[in-house]
Amino acid sequence: MIALKFGVSGEGYFTNGEASLLLFFICAYVAAYAWSWGPLGWLVPSEICSLEVRSAGQGINVAVNMLFTFVIAQVFLTMLCHLKFGLFFFFAGFVLIMTIFVALLMPETRNVRIEEMNKVWKSHWFWRKFISDDVVIGGHPHMATI
């Protein structure tokens, strides 16, 4: 809708009805994101880290999340001025990348106790090459080294 009205020149206008429809679509998008991808950046790290590294993992997660929130907030308007409606395709590309990453590289954690996460990582087709063989899978934190 934005692309059709404004094109790459950025000049155009919306009627009141079109503006209301666009506002509805933006609100629907934000609501859908808030109920799906939005909280996963906080939930997944809390489920995939073993107890030994969970607090450090969450600390890194918060720091990286805040850093990229700051970066996006700083460059958003500049990108919008240069990319116009293409900015929405830019962010849609990241949603596609996230979906592929989760589908291929995130292990299933349903019904897995936090103490058994090392076993999940050790048995995953991709991540097992990053887990050393001396990692104790039985949940003995004093013997586990990663």
Q: Does residue 144 lie within any of the structural domains?
A: no
Q: Is residue 119 part of a domain?
A: no
Q: Give 11's DSSP letter.
A: -
State the pLDDT at residue 146.
Answer: 47
The answer to whether residue 137 is domain-embedded is no
Report if residue 21 sits inside a domain: yes
Domain assignment present for residue 131? The answer is no
In this prediction, the residues of the chain whose per-residue pLDDT falls under 50 are: 142-146
Domains in the chain: how many in total?
A: 1
Q: Which residues, other chains included, contact 130 with Cβ-Cβ below 8 Å and sequence gap of 6+? A: 121
- Position 26 in a domain: yes
HSE at residue 77, side-chain half, CA atoms within 13 A, is: 3
Q: Is the pTM of this model over 0.75?
A: no
Closest CA to 57 of 71, 68, 43, 77: 43
> Which domain does 39 fall in, by range?
2-114
Pairs from 73-81 (Cβ < 8 Å, separation ≥ 24)? 81/10
Cα separations (Å) of 7 from 3, 15, 84? 5, 16, 8
Reference 61, options 76, 79, 78, 39; nearest CA is 39
The pLDDT value recorded for residue 144 is 47
